[in-house]
Amino acid sequence: MIEIQNVSRRYGSVQALTNVSLKVEQGSVLGLLGQNGAGKTTLLNILTGYLAPTEGRVLIDGCDPLLEPAQAKRYLGYLPEHPPLYDEMTVREYLMFAAELKGVEKRAIRAHVDEVMELTGLTAMRSRMLGHLSKGYRQRAGMAQALCGDPDVLVLDEPTVGLDPMQITEIRGLIRTLGKGRTIVFSSHILSEVQQLCDHVVILDSGVIRLDAPLQSVGEKDEITLLVTIAAAESSIVSKLRQLDGVRRVTVQPTAHVDQTTALVTFYRQNEPERRLFGLLSNLGMPLLHLSRVEDTLEQVFMNAVSGGGKTR
């Protein structure tokens, strides 16, 4: 659906993107993660044909937005970093303008705009001037504009930035709904957001792709780690833990109490490692003080990718 081929971009002497290649499948939701200045906005601007790459090219449905703008952009909706709003227009006028730009049929425009306003919760604001809207509603209007023309490809640059928690939940819900059947690329620096919404994640760091992986595989490796605290001396329990079926390794953590043991117990991927551990401890008659799963969160993966440098999985 979307192909980014060896794209590099320089702003004068600043190298914003270096040899970025990406493929986004039809119907998938791709989260673009990166720190400030990583080049997310630049990449999305190039993807939508607003900027040209210094090297490389972009194909949307096989069309280069620079060479065949009409075909490539026909089914494209873009919410830029700053919503492109005309302050002197009302919400409704603006959306009608956007819908017409996107090539929605004249007869269908009214109904279409009403639908989009309903979807983004703008109906009550329909006759307000865009310049008088609050930040959150401006963001919504930007979102509504991107939805005009019912695009197959949605490109959203930090869609939830500046919204209150309620609105964030709403917009995320919207993205999830829209994600069914559409191709969505969105950037964010909120990791949990990407985790909730995406089925593919790309981490960009200083203009280079550090990670490009389906989300299931990120953080869900072939092992599960439990953090346990047991009311027993280290010497009496650690060897028993090591012998437990399915345990890969045990790392003892330092504790303040002699009669307690805290350890990270890593199991091979299997069902209910907690049950095994609990079974063992009840057999031994040792009280369990704490038990939790240590998830290899996207956060850790992100930190590793950004600080580790160079490695791509």
Partner 1 sequence: MNIIYKRDLLAYFRTPVGYVFMGVFLTLSGLIFYLYNLQNLSGDLLTFLSQLTLLVMLLCPLLTMRLICEERQKRTDQLILTSPVALGSVVTGKYLAAATVMLLTILLTNVYTLIIALCGRVYMGEWFVGYLGFSLQSLAFLALDLFVTCFAKNQMTGAIAAFGANFLLWMADLLADHLPVAWMSECLNFVSLYERYEPFRLGQLSYSGILFFVSFIACCLVAATRVMDARRFSEGGAA
Ligand X SMILES: Nc1ncnc2c1ncn2[C@@H]1O[C@H](COP(=O)(O)OP(=O)(O)OP(=O)(O)O)[C@@H](O)[C@H]1O
Positions touching partner 1 (CB under 8 A) are: 11, 42, 45, 48-52, 54, 65-66, 69-74, 76, 78, 80, 82, 84-89, 93, 97-98, 100-103, 145
Phi-psi region of 136 (alpha: psi -120 to 50; beta: other; left: phi over 0): alpha
Please report, as residue ranges, which positions from 52 to 91 form the binding site for ligand X (by CB under 6 A).
81
Stretch near ligand X under the rule CB under 6 A, chosen from 34-42, 105-113, 230-238, 249-257: 34-42
- Decide: is 120 part of the binding site for ligand X (CB under 6 A): no
Asked if 273 and 246 touch (Cβ cutoff 8 Å), the reply is yes
Stretch near ligand X under the rule CB under 6 A, chosen from 8-16, 97-105, 289-297, 298-306: 8-16
Q: Whole-angstrom Cα distance, residue 231 to residue 65?
A: 64
- Decide: is 139 part of the binding site for ligand X (CB under 6 A): no
Stretch near ligand X under the rule CB under 6 A, chosen from 29-37, 68-76, 86-94, 136-144: 29-37
- Decide: is 41 part of the binding site for Mg ion (CB under 5 A): yes
155 versus 201: smaller Cβ distance to partner 1: 155
Q: Compute, in degrees rounded to 10, the torsion defined by CA atoms 144, 146, 151, 153.
A: -130
Q: How far is the CB of 70 from partner 1 (least distance, A)?
A: 5
- Decide: is 268 part of the binding site for ligand X (CB under 6 A): no
From candidates 24, 28, 34, 185, binder to ligand X by CB under 6 A: 34
69 versus 279: smaller Cβ distance to partner 1: 69
- Decide: is 16 part of the binding site for ligand X (CB under 6 A): yes
Q: Whole-angstrom Cα distance, residue 17 to residue 158?
A: 18
16 versus 125: smaller Cβ distance to ligand X: 16
Q: Whole-angstrom Cα distance, residue 240 to residue 218?
A: 31
Contact mark string toward ligand X, 176..215, x via CB under 6 A: -------------x--------------------------
Stretch near ligand X under the rule CB under 6 A, chosen from 35-43, 89-97, 141-149, 213-221: 35-43
Radius of gyration of the chain (CA): 25
- Decide: is 48 part of the binding site for Mg ion (CB under 5 A): no
The amino acid that residue 36 corresponds to is: N
| Apex 148 CA angle, 61 and 74, nearest 5 | 25
CA distances from 79 to 41, 44, 129, 139, 174 (A): 11, 10, 19, 9, 14
Q: Whole-angstrom Cα distance, residue 107 to residue 9?
A: 41
User: How big is the site for ligand X, counted in residues (CB under 6 A)?
Assistant: 13
Query: Which among 8, 62, 33, 124 is positioned nearest to 306, based on CA atoms?
Result: 33
Residue 36 near which of Mg ion, partner 1, ligand X, none (CB within 5-8 Å, type-dependent): ligand X
- Decide: is 28 part of the binding site for ligand X (CB under 6 A): no
**Sheet containing 29-34: order of strands:** 76-79, 153-157, 183-188, 29-34, 200-205, 208-214
User: How big is the site for Mg ion, counted in residues (CB under 5 A)?
Assistant: 3
Contact mark string toward ligand X, 226..265, x via CB under 6 A: ----------------------------------------
Residues that bind ligand X (CB under 6 A): 11, 14, 16, 34, 36-42, 81, 189
Residues that bind Mg ion (CB under 5 A): 40-41, 81
